[in-house]
Amino acid sequence: MISNAPSDTDVYAGQDLFEGRRPRSLTSAIFDRLRADILTCRLKPGEKLPISALAQAFDVSLAAVREALSRLVADGLVVAEDQRGFRVSPISEFDLEDLTRTRIEIEVLALRRSMEAGGDAWMADVRQAWDDLRHAPYMNPSDASQHNEGWNTLHDRFHRTLTQACGMVWLLRFRDSLHEQSERYRRLARPAGLFTRDPFTEHANIAEAVFARDADTAALLLKQHFTKTMELVRAAGKAENSPFHLPEKVDVADGKRRKSMRS
C-alpha cells in the first residue's frame, strides 16, 4: 500500500553500511543498500526517503544521499517530487500491465536472438542454469512458510542466461531493468498467500523448448509465464483482506497516469 508516512530510517541506525568493506564511494554504498531494500520490499512503494534522515542514519553527507537517490530515480526505483523530496516508486495495476507487456516484448526478442546466435557454450550455460534451478527447493528448507532466497537467485540467473547470447548490450540492460521492476511486484504479492503456481513445470517447459531450438514454442511459453505472474500479482492485490494493495492508477510527479490511458 502506498504510504504517506515518513520513512522509518531508524532501521539503518547503528548498522555498518559498508559491511566491513571499503566501498568504491559513499554514493555507491548508499545506492546499493537502498536499491537492495527497494527490490526486496523492505522499503515499500510510495515510502518517503527524506535526505536528512537517511544522511543521519548512514552517517554520511546530504550530497552523498542526494546523488544516490538521483541514480535510483534514473533506474525507475525512486521518484523525485517537486517540493516534496524523494520516495520509493509507487505501484499500480496500470504500471503492472504496462511493465509486463514491455517485458514480454523485450525478453522474447532477446530470447529469439540468443537462440539464433547462441552456440554450444551458451546452450551448456542454459543447461547448467536450469539444472541448478530445478534442484533448488522453492520454499525455505528451514521455514516452509518462507520462500527460498537461494531459489530466487537461481531463478534470476536462469532467465538471464536464456537471453545472454543475444549480442545486444542495450537490450540486456533494458531486460535487467524490467526484471527488477517485475521482481518488486512479485515479492509484494507473496504475503497475500495467493501466489500459488507450479514453477517447476513452467520453467521445465521453457527449458525443453530452448534445448530443442524451438524458438516459437519457447517464446510463447515465456510470454505465458510472465502473463501468469502478472495475473497472480493482480489477483493478490485485489483479494479481500490481502496485506498487499494494488491501486488501479497512481499520480506521480513525472506524469499522471489515468484510467483513460488504457486503450
The whole-chain average pLDDT of the chain stands at 85
What is the rounded CA–CA span in Å between residue 135 and residue 132?
6
Place of cell 551448456: 124
Domains of the chain in start order, with CATH, are 9-88 (1.10.10.10), 93-238 (1.20.120.530)
Decide if pLDDT at 75 tops 60.
yes
Decide if pLDDT at 174 tops 80.
yes
Taking the model in full, what pTM does it have?
A: 0.81
Q: Mean of the pLDDT values across residues 46-69?
A: 93
Predicted pLDDT at 239: 82
Q: Mean of the pLDDT values across residues 182-191?
A: 86
